[in-house]
Chains A and B, each alone.
Chain A
């Protein structure tokens, strides 16, 4: 699949091209199948595939050792899985559901993000204090960007201009200019920052901190500063167990969902006022979150209980838990 080069095509055209590409895909018989949810099981070296209609595991894909973060290639044909102990990214063909190739990815790749415009995958290499950039079509290393100690979370702006890398020991959000491929701003956030997620309009970034149990909101238009900190207080739960990890934001700007780790809760936050609206009880040690295509459902991975909780977004209710492999880490819904 040829990629669209940056700057030469307007976003509107890009979307149209994407829609066309998707449209032609939809003509295929495969189009009839329901939404699929992919869950990486860190201890089992597998990816579970859940059928979005029956809410059951329909397939289990064997991958490399210690699978964690996942991302789709921009053309939606492959699923990339960071397999940390194999120091690689396994690429799963979404038709055959098999690993078709594996790309070496430096020391202990944990979190990956795919560039919306270029065939780039960004990888946080925890042991080397760098973010690696790999061209997944040419299968070459593009560059390495130095950041703080133990880079972990990565977030990419919808326009592909900014990448945020969070470093767990430096406790910083490093804001990387993807044109220059270098970190240009460094902002302190809460202890052990884990995850970065841009709002759909690209104006803010939500950065969660596991140990501090907070989410820092960064202004991504002018100052790049932390302009608000959201704290969580789950009644009846020890404060130390409230640890913020995964973040999912609805595209209409209404809700934010924050996984609160060993407190076994997902916080529902008003995306505009930052007010915490509710805490939803899910499985044990909830880690990452994903919204489905029409954002009617939220899926959570619960590491200790080894399951996925399904939450209906309309009435903010957990409706089902689906047993998956051991230590489910990441979750992603097929676009």
Chain B
């Protein structure tokens, strides 16, 4: 059947490729294509996931943008539109401005950023950007959605606060409201710990004790590493007062993975390891997500990550707006993105859309273990006058963003 089906497919389409590789059958009066530039940053050498089961990726995010273009073109061909992607990757300490200039030279009118927070600010301030819009698909910095927000900056990846709120709501549902917090020694983790404290307060939890993990990353594959870990972790956490959950803040994934099953008290590990809050996960298959997972895996020959998902959402937002408005004009597309009509199917059960006050994409957040999704926030019962999704992250009234 499979072979037959393939050969028939070839016949039916007169030798044009089947499946995702859509032929671009464009009418003669095709308007100019919509050119998107993906700007990524090389992975720092020391940034590898702690577990050897996780692949080390060098195209994280980029593949999501590529699939987004392919999905857009599958519809665009029926509408006489076309999407094109250009890609640039800068070195860890490379010149973001120069990379931007290259994309602009290639005709990129829209930028999807796989950059960390600081580099995003640099990008926004660079003169080569002009009034091009940037989609932040990688940085969770709340500052970029607050004080450092910009009218031409959109965020498809959730902020730290959205993730922390999503987790706090689930722990509220469980009534696990005594938290012990362990955070790493990086700047990211210091910020995340602060965000977690805020979420705990908002949702009626209590942080009963805190510890900072003072060590630098350990060798990933040291022989017999777990012997030391097995002795070290219980001692490290045994002074913490009685708690319901041990909350870990380790964004760069350098120690948190050691904690499950090694704790002093028999308590679940949650946060950035153990039970996590994330916009995307391979275990998520509801609401048609299985289709996106399969499509991505066939396309990229690996699993889709949260960063891929953020980049895919950015490109798909443009595709949806261009299809609905029948336009490739920047202002028409932007007006539509921020209008009430804009609703994107993000495979998360509820439509996703942009908050007008800081251009953050409002979206459901997965609460998942390493192998199975436990829940999706917002949790039932956390009410909001506009949308339950706005119970996650900075709301209109409290946002410090002023465009």
List residues of chain A with CB under 8 Å of any chain B CB.
104, 106, 108, 126-130, 132, 141, 143-146, 148-150, 167-172, 186, 188, 191-192, 210-212, 238-241, 262
Contact = CB atoms under 8 A, between A and B. Distances in A.
Contact of B78 (A104, A148, A212): A148
Contact of A191 (B5, B19, B295, B351): B351
B67 to A, nearest CB: 10
Given A145-B12, A238-B388, A128 B78 contact: no
Contacts of A238: 387-388
A149 B75 contact: yes
B303 interface: no
Range, interface on chain B? 20 to 34
Contacts of A149: 71, 74-75, 295
12 contacts: A108-B294, A128-B9, A130-B9, A141-B4, A146-B12, A148-B75, A191-B320, A191-B345, A211-B350, A212-B343, A239-B387, A240-B388
A169 B298 CA distance: 17
A148 B320 CA distance: 14
B8 A169 contact: no
A127 B75 contact: no
A144 B320 contact: no
Contacts of B288: 150, 168, 192
B5 A141 contact: yes
A143 B12 contact: yes
Contacts of B298: 127
Contacts of B324: 188
Nearest to A210: B345
Contacts of B320: 171, 191
B91 interface: no
B389 interface: yes
B5 A144 contact: yes
Interface of B: 1, 4-5, 8-9, 12-13, 18-20, 71, 74-75, 78-79, 288, 291, 294-295, 298, 320, 323-324, 343-345, 349-351, 387-389
A85 B388 CA distance: 34
Contacts of A126: 291
Given A132-B5, A238-B387, A212 B351 contact: yes
Given A191-B344, A238-B387, A129 B74 contact: yes
A301 B214 CA distance: 55
B20 A129 contact: yes
A104 B1 contact: yes
A148 B298 CA distance: 17
A210 B5 CA distance: 30
Contacts of B291: 108, 126-127, 150, 168-169
A171 B294 contact: no
Contacts of A171: 75, 320, 323, 345
Contacts of A210: 345
Contacts of B5: 106, 132, 141, 144
